[in-house]
Structure 1
Amino acid sequence: MLHLAQVQKQEPSGEPQLRLLARQDFETAWVVIAETPVIPSPEALAWNDGVLVLVDLSPTQEVLSVQDATKWLVSLVNDYLTSSITPALLAQEKERIEQ
């Protein structure tokens, strides 16, 4: 399952970690994780502290892959924020659909 995570590096001798911020439920649906779990991850050594990454996790929370989230985030901004889709517009659409 794909997650958005933040790289966290502790003391120099400590193992780097990934703080899970959100997870993909469907292709275009993401859920923010309220209590952000932290997963120890040697794979995070390659990234700077604080960097946002996309992490593919197995059902047992094993890290399968880690990739830079920059292109993905820019794509979201381009697809949703530059096309005048605002929270107010989304709320109006939700109300219209529920009627």
Structure 2
Amino acid sequence: MQYLAKVQQRAFLASTELVLLAQQTGEYTWERLTSERIVEAADLVGFEAGHLVLVELNPLHQVTAVEDATPWVLALVDQFLAHGVTPDFLATEVERAERWRQSLTLKSQEVDRRALETAARRDEIQALEQNLKQEREALEAQRAELEAREAKLQQEFALLQQETGETD
């Protein structure tokens, strides 16, 4: 695991130790350590007391790699601080992103509500169309029945006229 540490000299033993300051928790995330953790470091040639270093520790908390943290810190300055990325700016951006997410959620819910309303109206229209079709079929059946009755009445009327015309 990688840590940001400060080199510290122990005067009474003339040895070097590392004070761990922060721990990498993800690819782009770091967490400050709340309690002081010190790791013994032999062979820290070229690093003076107070120097910041990036340290790789194995699971037994033994130093496996040490490198100067200056390039890493300067990269942070170039990537974030040179462009005005401050904690306030990040907090504002997080807040803005949260408002945007909430707005999208509300819009999505509105679209879903309208889709449900549209589906309900479509179902209602289909039911009305079905009722109209049934009513039309019923009216056509009544019309055919009336036309049949009219034809029968005309036949009976014609027969009646023939009978009355023959008796005259």
Structure 2-normalised TM-score?
0.55
Query: When the two structures are aligned, how many residues end up with a matched partner?
Result: 99
Question: Alignment partner of 2:10: what SS?
Answer: coil
Higher relative contact order (CA 8 A, sep 6+): 1
| Distance across 2 between alignment mates of 1:20 and 1:7 | 9
| Distance across 1 between alignment mates of 2:27 and 2:7 | 23
Superposition deviation, residue 45 in structure 1: 4.6
Letter in 2 for 1:21: L
Name the structure 2 match of 1:89: 89
Moved over 2 A (4+): 12-15, 43-46, 96-99
Name the structure 2 match of 1:9: 9
Question: Highest CA radius of gyration, 1 or 2?
Answer: 2
Name the structure 1 match of 2:30: 30
Superposition deviation, residue 10 in structure 1: 1.1
Superposition deviation, residue 70 in structure 1: 0.5
Question: Alignment partner of 1:90: what SS?
Answer: helix
Name the structure 1 match of 2:49: 49
Superposition deviation, residue 4 in structure 1: 0.3
Structure 1-normalised TM-score?
0.90
TM-align CA RMSD = 1.4
Decide which structure has greater helix share: 2
Q: Check the 8 A contact 1:18/1:44 in 2, yes or no.
A: no
| Distance across 1 between alignment mates of 2:24 and 2:35 | 16
Gaps of 5+ in 1: none
Superposition deviation, residue 60 in structure 1: 1.5
| Distance across 2 between alignment mates of 1:64 and 1:37 | 17
Name the structure 1 match of 2:73: 73
| Distance across 2 between alignment mates of 1:34 and 1:43 | 27
Q: Check the 8 A contact 1:6/1:20 in 2, yes or no.
A: yes
Letter in 1 for 2:96: R
| Distance across 2 between alignment mates of 1:59 and 1:96 | 40
